[in-house]
Chains A and B, each alone.
Chain A
Amino acid sequence: MLRPEMASKATRLRALALYKELHRLGRDYEPSYDFHGKLRRLFEKNRNLTDDEEIEKALRLGEYIKNETLALYSLRKYRYLKRMYPSNSTTSDT
């Protein structure tokens, strides 16, 4: 991931870590959505940011997408399991 020489090393590392994490998450996404393609394009679109606040905003958006995707996976898995292994009890509080 290319960034201008002046960019702070810390934010560069954060951006790299975020990209790797999102890339790994994207493996389980619906293939027709092209998660990896979109991920790459979004990062590339922001490659030349220099303003600290804009960089923070972009990183926060990335974190948000990561959390949303995680929540989506969690829900999908839980819903499947709940359907396959329903609570037997008639007086369950679930």
Chain B
Amino acid sequence: MRPSAVQLLNILVPIKRAVDYAVKIRVNPEQTGIDLNVKHSMNPFDEIAVEEAVRIRERLKDAVKSIKVVTIGPPKSAETLRTALAMGADSAVHVEIPESAPAPEPLGVAKTLKALIERQKEGVDVVIMGKQAIDDDAGQTGQMLAGLMGWSQATFASRVEVDPEQKVANITREIDGGLEELRCNLPVIITTDLRLNEPRYASLPNIMKAKKKPVEKLTVAELGIDLTPRLETIKVTEPLKRVGGGKVANVDELLAKLKEAGVTGKRA
């Protein structure tokens, strides 16, 4: 809640263990959600967030006091934390929920993060997180957290520059129609866009070294949060199947069909 003294930065990176990007998503037979018995990995936007935190430290060196990653998830989420530690985070917090528990909602996650931030004795100056998770595409948690904390926020960041002495962050955002440059007072919530950076590969030796880094385990009860969902998903269905293309007999027919579809071949 209180930013850390003078010029040292404490960075918090919330991450999510989400369905892997390469998985072909299938709706479950009950039509209540997607098949979750598939490969999971760190949400790509969160990888970008971890990478950005590490790069901020590479640029500012000793001005960054700590990079802490946090996840709210089942026991398997510990692997995701280990990958983040292997990429360069110093320590991790695992807010463990039971395997059978429903996926936390963005507001629940934001409240949990708020409770966690308020527990940090050294304070938090910068929170960097993915703009959205690729499995639910909610894109709400960062904004909700900023609202709950009353902190400045810069979402869809494509460039981040933190100035610990001035206690500001200069951030470029990707918006419709171009780029927007913001100067935010610390503490700040930043959500990452795809074009911010390219995350490093967590090599096997680094993964092994990461096993020695501290991981604090907490429960939501300890944080005083109730993650009971406020939304009920009524039904999940696949999108309508694409209608197949038709075959044409010759060029004339092709031209006729294109004209029908409104394609004239002239520049609009």
Name the contact of A87 in the complex, choosing from B22, B195, B198, B205 (C-beta under 8 A).
B195
Among listed B62-70, B107-115, B173-181, interface-contacting one: B173-181
Q: Provide the residues of chain B in CB contact with A47, threshold 8 Å.
A: none
- How far apart are the CA atoms of A77 and B201 in the complex, in Å? 12
Please tell me the number of chain A residues within 8 Å of chain B, measured between CB atoms.
Answer: 22
Q: Provide the residues of chain B in CB contact with A21, threshold 8 Å.
A: 203-204
Within the complex, what minimum Cβ distance (angstroms) separates A23 from chain B? 9
- How far apart are the CA atoms of A84 and B48 in the complex, in Å? 16
Q: Provide the residues of chain B in CB contact with A10, threshold 8 Å.
A: none
Q: Provide the residues of chain A in CB contact with B179, threshold 8 Å.
A: 89, 92
Q: Provide the residues of chain B in CB contact with A90, threshold 8 Å.
A: 176-178
- How far apart are the CA atoms of A93 and B178 in the complex, in Å? 9
Contact indicator A81/B174 (Cβ below 8 Å):
no
Interface digits, A74-94 against B, CB 8 Å rule (1 contact, 0 not)?
Answer: 101110111011011111101
Q: Provide the residues of chain A in CB contact with B174, threshold 8 Å.
A: 87-89, 92
Indicate if A20 sits at the interface (CB-CB under 8 A).
Answer: yes
Interface size class of B (residues with CB under 8 A): 10 to 19
Indicate if A7 sits at the interface (CB-CB under 8 A).
Answer: no
The number of inter-chain residue pairs (CB within 8 angstroms) is: 47
Within the complex, what minimum Cβ distance (angstroms) separates B115 from chain A? 30
- How far apart are the CA atoms of A5 and B178 in the complex, in Å? 63
Contact indicator A89/B176 (Cβ below 8 Å):
yes
Q: Provide the residues of chain A in CB contact with B134, threshold 8 Å.
A: 81, 84
Q: A89-B175, A89-B179 are contacts. A17–B21 as well, Cβ < 8 Å?
A: no
Contact indicator A20/B177 (Cβ below 8 Å):
no
Contact indicator B203/A80 (Cβ below 8 Å):
no
Indicate if B194 sits at the interface (CB-CB under 8 A).
Answer: yes
Q: Provide the residues of chain A in CB contact with B194, threshold 8 Å.
A: 78, 81-82, 85, 87
Indicate if A41 sits at the interface (CB-CB under 8 A).
Answer: no
- B residues in contact (CB < 8 Å) with A: 21-22, 44, 134, 174-179, 194-195, 198, 201, 203-205
- A residues in contact (CB < 8 Å) with B: 17, 20-21, 24, 28, 70, 74, 76-78, 80-82, 84-85, 87-92, 94
A-B contact pairs, 7 of them (CB 8 A): A76-B22, A87-B195, A88-B174, A89-B175, A91-B178, A92-B174, A94-B195
Besides A81-B44, A91-B178, 15 more A-B contacts (Cβ < 8 Å) are: A21-B204, A70-B201, A76-B22, A77-B21, A78-B194, A80-B22, A81-B134, A81-B194, A82-B194, A84-B134, A85-B194, A87-B194, A91-B177, A92-B174, A92-B178
Give the top 8 A-B pairs by smallest Cβ distance, nearest first: A88-B176, A91-B178, A89-B178, A21-B204, A70-B201, A81-B194, A89-B177, A85-B194
